[in-house]
């Protein structure tokens, strides 16, 4: 049976949030805040600030808060294709201007990771201007299909074509016309980038990747996506216009949601986000997971809890582990956990049980868009796996280390609480008529409303047609707030 999928797009002036729903269950959440858009895909004319021969790397100033990082292995096309064989001190010098692209966002104290290998994504193809080969997505496993797609693209390319391509998974169902349209789009894009780079000053942003709402059409939608619900009329119109130009088969699935109930509330996404910030995840059977994220790795511990099947203990353990395998795959996507992951399933004596649980885990992970490697059980009965880390996890986006406990736990940032209050005010205004709405919250939250988010609050007050007053409460924790109807 095919998995039906819906994509929800919640848009406010402050942030855009996207949720992927499969069979009514939230599988993935993406967020992009207007004040802190991700950098991956951006192209800059950077300036070399420091070359480190010992580490074969360099720091590049691209105008960001922290200097970005370029390793010698990621240098290509500076002078010739074999540059990676030469030491970095022969390739770069301080003060030199360099066209670079961000391949990994800044995470924690680390600056962005850069490459001189340009990569421009379309819907069906990724254009590599400095390459000459045609690659195929690893997710397309059938050798005949891979050969067919490669030949299909070759026939569309003119003999004088310069540049390489990677055929994306979605190209499997693309028509010749759709592939040609994607090729034209990518060529126009690269031509514009080169023109802007030639006239730009160092540290200039030359190209910025699409915003999250438009990336939904390019990257998220596939054959099993039945519709894309957007709760902003303006964003919906923009998505349809973009889709008609670049993803015609997708544009018709974009719908404006105009219901009274907030979109994320209707589908239970808000509740799932709250659960995804918790350390403990309950299983339907009565068992539970304990998920601990550290800087080095993430550990997931599976426990039986009060689950008893009435059969043998081995059967109880097996059923708990099978359910846990499915939930773990979903939690990795939902929380966007990257890096090394160590899973401690409950010990199983039977090899057939261990093999079945490992098979179930791999099957559940197969739908994840992010590249992963999964090893079998170690001698200690653990499963080790890696999930590519390209952006911050959900907890890193929404929370900050708690000052009261030295960072062992997490606390929602004042900005996260502000946005939750704005959504709640909108919800209250729809349900109740009041003369005035009073927000009682911790001082950092009130300070943010009086400063950076004052315009957001004024816009909302204007939209609901009622005044909103603020009151700081010293006894409230940073996450605590109340909305009083006056």
Q: What is the pLDDT of residues 252-300, one digit of tens each?
A: 999 999 999 999 999 999 999 999 999 999 998 889 999 998 888 999 9
Higher pLDDT, 85 or 184: 184
Tokens of 292: 């601990």
C-beta separation of 51 from 92 below 8 A: yes
* The pLDDT of residue 246: 76
Measured distance CA(255)–CA(8) in Å, rounded? 10
- The strand ranges marked E within 321-453 are 339-344, 372-377, 383-387, 399-401, 410-412, 437-441
Q: Are strands 225-230 and 5-11 parallel, antiparallel or unpaired?
A: parallel
Measured distance CA(389)–CA(245) in Å, rounded? 32
Task: Give the position of tokens 């773990």.
Answer: 328
Measured distance CA(372)–CA(368) in Å, rounded? 9
Measured distance CA(51)–CA(381) in Å, rounded? 44
Measured distance CA(152)–CA(129) in Å, rounded? 19
CA 261, chain centre distance (Å): 26
Share of the chain above pLDDT 70, in %: 95
Measured distance CA(454)–CA(161) in Å, rounded? 52
Q: What's the pLDDT band for 6 if we cut at 50, 70, 90?
A: very high
C-beta separation of 20 from 194 below 8 A: no
Give Dmax (Cα) for the chain.
Answer: 74
C-beta separation of 24 from 204 below 8 A: no
CA 33, chain centre distance (Å): 12
302 by DSSP, 3-state: which? strand
Reported as a single tens digit per residue, the pLDDT across 307-335 is: 555 567 888 899 999 999 999 999 999 99
What lies within 8 Å, CB to CB, of 30 at 6+ separation is 17, 18, 19, 212
442 pLDDT higher than 70: yes
Instruction: Quote the mean pLDDT of the chain.
Output: 88
* The pLDDT of residue 81: 47
| Across 85-102, average pLDDT | 90
336 pLDDT higher than 90: yes
Tokens of 97: 């201007």
Reported as a single tens digit per residue, the pLDDT across 230-254 is: 999 999 999 999 888 777 778 899 9
79 pLDDT higher than 60: no
Tokens of 137: 């997505």
């Amino acid at each position: 049976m095919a998995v039906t999928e819906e994509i929800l797009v919640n848009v406010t002036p402050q942030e855009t949030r996207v949720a992927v729903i499969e069979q009514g269950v939230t599988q993935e959440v993406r967020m992009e805040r207007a004040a802190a858009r991700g950098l991956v895909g951006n192209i800059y004319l950077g300036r070399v600030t420091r070359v480190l021969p010992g580490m074969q790397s360099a720091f590049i100033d691209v105008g960001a808060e922290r200097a970005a990082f370029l390793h010698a292995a990621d240098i290509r096309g500076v002078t010739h294709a074999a540059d990676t064989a030469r030491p970095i001190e022969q390739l770069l010098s301080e003060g030199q201007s360099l066209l670079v692209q961000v391949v990994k966002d800044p995470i924690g104290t680390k600056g962005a990771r850069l490459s001189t290998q340009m990569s421009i994504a379309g819907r069906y193809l990724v254009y590599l201007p400095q390459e000459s080969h045609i690659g195929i997505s690893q997710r397309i496993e059938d050798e005949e299909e891979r050969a067919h797609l490669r030949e299909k693209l070759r026939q569309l390319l003119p003999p004088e074509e310069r540049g390489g391509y990677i055929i994306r998974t979605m190209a499997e169902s693309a028509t010749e016309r759709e592939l040609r349209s994607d090729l034209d789009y990518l060529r126009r894009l690269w031509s514009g980038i080169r023109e802007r780079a030639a006239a730009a000053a160092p540290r200039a942003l030359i190209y910025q990747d699409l915003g999250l709402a438009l990336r939904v059409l390019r990257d998220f939608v596939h054959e099993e996506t039945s519709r894309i619900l957007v709760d902003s009329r303006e964003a919906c119109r923009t998505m349809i216009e973009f889709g008609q130009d670049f993803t015609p088969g997708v544009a018709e699935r974009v719908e404006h949601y105009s219901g009274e109930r907030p979109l994320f509330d209707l589908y239970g996404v808000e509740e799932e986000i709250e659960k995804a910030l918790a350390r403990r995840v309950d299983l339907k059977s009565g068992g539970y997971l304990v998920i601990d994220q550290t800087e080095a790795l993430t550990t997931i511990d599976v426990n039986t809890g009060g689950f008893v099947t009435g059969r043998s203990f081995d059967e109880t353990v097996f059923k708990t582990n099978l359910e846990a395998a499915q939930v773990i795959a979903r939690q990795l996507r939902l929380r966007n956990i990257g890096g090394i992951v160590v899973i401690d399933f409950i010990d199983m004596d039977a090899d057939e049980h261990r093999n079945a649980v490992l098979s179930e885990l791999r099957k559940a992970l197969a739908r994840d868009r992010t590249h992963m490697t999964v090893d079998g059980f170690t001698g200690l009965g653990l499963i080790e796996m890696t999930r590519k880390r390209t952006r911050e996890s959900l907890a890193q986006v929404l929370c900050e280390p708690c000052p009261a406990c030295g960072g062992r736990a997490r606390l929602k940032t004042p900005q996260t609480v502000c946005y939750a209050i704005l959504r709640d005010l909108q919800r209250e205004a729809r349900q109740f008529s009041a003369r005035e709405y009073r927000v009682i919250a911790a001082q950092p939250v009130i300070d943010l409303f009086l400063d950076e988010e004052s315009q957001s609050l004024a816009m909302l007050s204007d939209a609901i047609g009622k005044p909103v007053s603020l009151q700081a409460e010293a006894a409230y924790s940073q996450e605590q707030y109340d909305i009083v109807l006056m």
